[in-house]
Amino acid sequence: MRKAGIAAEVVVNFVLPWVCYRIALQSMGETGALIFSAAPPMTWSLLVIVWFKRLDAVSLIVVAGILLSLSAMTFGGSPRLLLLRESLVTGLVGLALLVSMLFPKPLMYYLAESTTAKHSPEEAAQFSLLWKRPGFVLTMYVTSWVWGTALISEAALRCVLAWTMPVDQFLLVSPLISYSVYFALIGWTFWFVRRMKAAAKRRTVNV
């Protein structure tokens, strides 16, 4: 089932947008074809949220990005704005993560708290106590900085490509960039958290 889910993700987010664009280009024009190409990933994301009752972060970014770019089109924006889609949202999320570092608790803390509450009510009750640990505080700030910087960089790269690449090529390359960045960030986060936990255990043993 997991392999089937990954295959479906690839088809919906990589293949179908490009196919829809190519099919609709002649009859609907560039703007209409771009809107039509947004249908598969948006439909998939809505199904994940509604059918599986899972607020998947990637799905929310896809939906919000498409809605934002479509809204821009209603006010006379360039059709190229439709290519930005999730980048408009991921860039803002990255900025929010960086700005939140100026506050007593960064945004990453609240995201981790929300995730913990969904998986284990018992752990959620103890989560706030972790803020008293310097290692945990450092982890929240470092992950906020890394994720924020990476998301802004990813959004900037896709913005440049959206204005310089042929549309059909961008529709194939853009999801590849996004998923590469997301998987890299998730992998780095697991590695960094394990490293910080190991360091905390060593300090406890030495004490």
Give kind and range of the element (H or E) at residue 29: helix 16-37
pLDDT at 28: 73
DSSP code of 39?
Answer: H
Q: What is the pTM of this model?
A: 0.71
Q: pLDDT class for 191, splitting at 50, 70, 90?
A: very high
Where exactly are the structural domains of the chain?
2-206
The whole-number average pLDDT for the span 104-130 is 75
The whole-number average pLDDT for the span 156-172 is 85
pLDDT at 118: 62
pLDDT at 147: 93
What is the distance between the alpha carbons of residues 122 and 156, in angstroms, rounded to a whole number?
Answer: 40
pLDDT at 64: 64
Positive or negative, the CA dihedral 193, 199, 205, 207 is: negative
Q: pLDDT class for 1, splitting at 50, 70, 90?
A: very low
The whole-number average pLDDT for the span 179-186 is 88
pLDDT one-digit tens code per residue, 30-81? 666 666 777 777 777 667 666 655 555 555 565 666 666 666 555 555 667 6
Q: pLDDT class for 148, splitting at 50, 70, 90?
A: very high
pLDDT at 74: 58
Max Cα–Cα distance, the chain, nearest Å = 72
Residue 124 corresponds to which amino acid? A
What percentage of the chain exceeds 90 in pLDDT? Answer: 15
Better-predicted residue by pLDDT, 201 or 29: 201
27 exposure class (CB count in 10 Å sphere: 0-12, 13-18, 19+)? exposed
